[in-house]
């Protein structure tokens, strides 16, 4: 079969800073997904996009082509309105776990297709898989039935959703093009729009533990994604949130599930509660007048959690896995803990076994870091400030090395940054 266009012409257009015509975008994504466009040709195009960017209309068409490479779920038959959330990833970011049942308890349906962790950031599916019996993979029929009956689903995305993105994502990782904002935005939004939700709230992390290190870059990414959502008929809002310090008091799979259960029971760390409720209010805007803070206090969100876990084969009453070994990291001086670097804690948790270097690597359900003191807390020399959990005690040394330079103790507390930095969207 002869092809309509030549990949080299598309590459040259973007190399020279021109807009790629719509029909060529459609063909390029389709031909690459079919294996007609070679890896080295798409690599060249990705580098040209990294260097020269994309116009808003061009990026919207690129994203649409990625969506059209597979299935788009139809959620219009559900009896309640749909709202989804996506986080760009951080350390201790367990927010999806209490958020999905909380929003469902207030009347929305939450179709949360999630992923696994890689490197220093944790994955939602890895956390939930620490619950005995829980399964990440369900059929489309099970997905829709659970959305209708329970109101919330957190599961793995099927292979039929935006298959072009899976190929492009892997290629970006080995071609030095991961940092391109148009490519990041189209990757995230193609999957999220394909999920079929009517509205989407984005949690764009900023800081050392985030993919976006500066507020300027994070704001640019957030604006780009909000514009893409609007262009495809999905009401989209983004919150820029701080990720210079880990969220909550745990980083690790079962440890974060346990902390999420505290939040659902009406307790938990103040920062986790603040962000969970703020995102829930955004997801429920125009959908429900219920205050999500009330649904945490009165137990409705916990009821939905139990139903959600049970529907996917999990036992919400079963004990969570525990790591076999523990070791503390103690304060080296007396004073006030002024900094606890999110990236350092994330790498430590990864080295303890909570994360993976490659997608196929296993993770330890019980491994991770418990934060015993947070910035602003007074500490004395020798006081435990972190507790490391691992199945293999040989992992402790490298985890402690990761924390070197990530903890500061001074005479007085610096002013803590705001957890929610900005809001972008209508």
Handedness of CA 80, 193, 236, 312 (dihedral sign): positive
Residue 177 has pLDDT above 80, yes or no: yes
Same domain, yes or no: 209 and 353: no
Residue 320's pLDDT band, with cuts at 50, 70 and 90, is very high
Q: Following DSSP, what letter does each residue of 62-79 receive, concatenated?
A: HHHHHHTTS-----TTSS
Residue with structure tokens 């092809």? 3
> Which residues have a catalytic role annotated?
86, 165, 172, 187, 191
Same domain, yes or no: 204 and 289: yes
Q: How many helices (H) and strands (E) does the chain have?
A: 16, 13
Which phi and psi (to 5°) does residue 203 adopt? -110, 100
| In a domain? residue 317 | no
| In a domain? residue 422 | no
Q: Name the token pair of 258.
A: 């346990």
- 336-355 residue pLDDT tens: 999 999 999 999 999 999 98
Of 255, 316, 262, give the one whose Cα is nearest residue 131. 316
Residue 306: what pLDDT?
98
Percent of all residues in the chain with a pLDDT value above 90, rounded to a whole number: 87
Same domain, yes or no: 287 and 340: no
Give mean pLDDT, residues 290-308. Answer: 95
Residue with structure tokens 């691992």? 390
Residue 358 has pLDDT above 90, yes or no: no
CATH number at residue 280: 3.40.1030.10
Same domain, yes or no: 298 and 151: yes
Range of the domain at 239: 83-158+194-311
- 132-170 residue pLDDT tens: 999 999 999 999 999 999 999 999 988 788 999 999 988
SS3 label, residue 398: helix
- Cα–Cα distances (Å) from 218 to 88, 212, 222, 230, in that order, read 10, 5, 6, 18
Residue with structure tokens 């435990």? 384
Residue 159: what pLDDT?
77
CATH number at residue 38: 1.20.970.10
Q: Name the packing angle between helices 163-173 and 56-67 (round to 10°).
A: 120
Answer yes or no: are the C-beta atoms of 48 and 11 closer than 8 Å. Answer: yes
Task: Label residue 317 left, alpha or beta by phi (over 0 means left) and psi (-120 to 50 means alpha).
Answer: alpha
- 69-85 residue pLDDT tens: 999 999 999 999 999 99
Residue 356: what pLDDT?
80
Q: Name the token pair of 396.
A: 């402790």
């Amino acid at each position: 079969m002869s092809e309509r266009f030549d990949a080299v012409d598309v590459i040259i257009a973007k190399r020279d800073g021109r807009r790629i015509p719509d029909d060529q975008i459609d063909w390029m994504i389709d031909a690459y997904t079919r294996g007609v466009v070679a890896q080295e040709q798409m690599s060249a195009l990705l580098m040209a996009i990294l260097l020269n960017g994309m116009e808003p209309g061009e990026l919207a068409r690129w994203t649409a082509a990625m969506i059209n490479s597979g299935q788009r779920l139809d959620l219009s038959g559900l009896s309640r309105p749909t709202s989804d959330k996506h986080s760009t990833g951080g350390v201790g970011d367990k927010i999806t776990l209490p958020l999905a049942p909380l929003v469902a308890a207030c009347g929305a349906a939450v179709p949360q297709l999630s992923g696994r962790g890689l490197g220093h950031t944790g994955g939602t599916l890895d956390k939930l898989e620490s619950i005995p019996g829980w399964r990440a993979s369900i059929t489309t029929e099970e997905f829709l039935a659970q959305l209708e009956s329970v109101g919330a689903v957190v599961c793995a995305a099927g292979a039929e959703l935006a298959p072009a993105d899976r190929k492009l994502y892997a290629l970006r990782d080995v071609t030095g093009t991961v940092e391109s904002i148009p490519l990041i935005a189209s990757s995230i939004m193609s999957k999220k729009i394909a999920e079929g939700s009517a509205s989407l709230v984005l949690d764009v992390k900023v800081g050392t533990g985030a993919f976006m290190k500066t507020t300027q870059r994070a704001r640019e990414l957030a604006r780009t994604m909000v514009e893409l959502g609007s262009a495809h008929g999905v009401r989209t809002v983004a919150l820029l949130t701080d990720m210079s310090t880990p969220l909550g008091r745990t980083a690790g799979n079962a440890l974060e599930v346990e902390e999420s259960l505290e939040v659902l029971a009406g307790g938990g760390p103040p920062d986790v509660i603040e962000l969970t409720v703020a995102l829930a209010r955004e997801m429920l805007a125009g959908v429900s007048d219920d205050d999500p803070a009330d649904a945490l206090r009165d137990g409705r969100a916990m009821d939905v959690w139990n139903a959600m876990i049970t529907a996917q084969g999990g036992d919400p009453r079963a004990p969570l896995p525990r790591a076999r070994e523990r070791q503390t990291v103690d304060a080296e001086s007396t004073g006030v803990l002024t900094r606890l670097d999110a990236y350092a804690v994330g790498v430590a948790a990864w080295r303890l076994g909570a994360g993976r270097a490659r997608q196929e690597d296993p993770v330890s359900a019980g491994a991770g870091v418990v934060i015993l003191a947070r910035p602003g807390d007074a500490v004395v020399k020798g006081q435990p400030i972190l507790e490391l959990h691992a199945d293999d005690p040989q992992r402790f040394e490298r985890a402690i090395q990761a924390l070197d330079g990530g903890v500061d103790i001074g005479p007085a507390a610096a002013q803590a940054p705001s957890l929610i930095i900005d809001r972008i969207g209508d």
